[in-house]
Amino acid sequence: METLAKRVVFVALLVQAALLPMLSMAADADPIQDFCVADASSTLTINGLVCKPAADVKVNDFLFRGLDKPGNTGGPTANAVTPVAAAQLPGLNTLGISLARLDFAKGGINVPHIHPRATEVLALLQGELYVGFVSTTNNTLFATTLYAGDVFVFPRGLVHFQLNVGKGAAVAIAALSSQNPGVQQVAPALFAANPPINDEVLEKAFHLNQNQVQHIKASFVKA
């Protein structure tokens, strides 16, 4: 376990370093000062997070601990994502980069989703993952199986997923080219929208009847 923890930290650093050349093409605006530590107490609404006064900035604003600890994979999808974005690490604000730890129990899945503001680079530390994304050209699927030490990139804004196909747990580190990449799971966005999307829209989009649409919607309420 100690060896895996060290690998998590080491690979996180490597993946972050690999993302540095992408910052010039990141979705986030370039910073115009050394740093802009997010002020969680501010009630102002801006495109991003308000800066804390420089005099109030402390070293802990640039520190996050705990990425060596596995997430809780006891939920319905048997996976857990531990994000380290500006909300968790205020010093990331305006720097255009973030990361996350992904844990998968056997058979666990990170369901199809998108990051509207970031490209994702994933490094697999342990286990086997079937991963892929779908391009906007003829809905082409690019998918493969990753093994420990493999790295895969998911282009910004495209639907992608990860599924544990190994015999045990899987662990990965993902780096993203935004301090606030955003995430939207495809199925809940459509079948668990609030307020609900009109059934007829989903019936025609997915070639389902009303009973089937209602059944799928109800399954998300139970979850």
Per the annotation, binding residues for Mn(2+) are 113, 115, 120, 160
Q: Which segments are annotated as binding site for oxalate? A: 110, 115, 120
DSSP helix/strand/coil, 201: helix
Q: Which segments are annotated as binding site? A: 110, 113, 115, 120, 160
Rounded to 5°, angle at Cα 154 from 61 and 126: 75
* Strands, E assignment, 64-149: 79-84, 98-104, 109-114, 120-126, 128-134, 141-147
Exposed, middle or buried by CB within 10 Å (0-12, 13-18, 19+), for 168?
Answer: exposed
Selection from 24, 51, 27, 48 nearest residue 38 by Cα = 51
Name residues whose C-beta falls within 8 Å of residue 181's C-beta, 6 or more positions apart in sequence.
85, 98, 115, 116, 117, 118, 120
* Strands, E assignment, 127-218: 128-134, 141-147, 151-154, 160-164, 170-176, 184-185
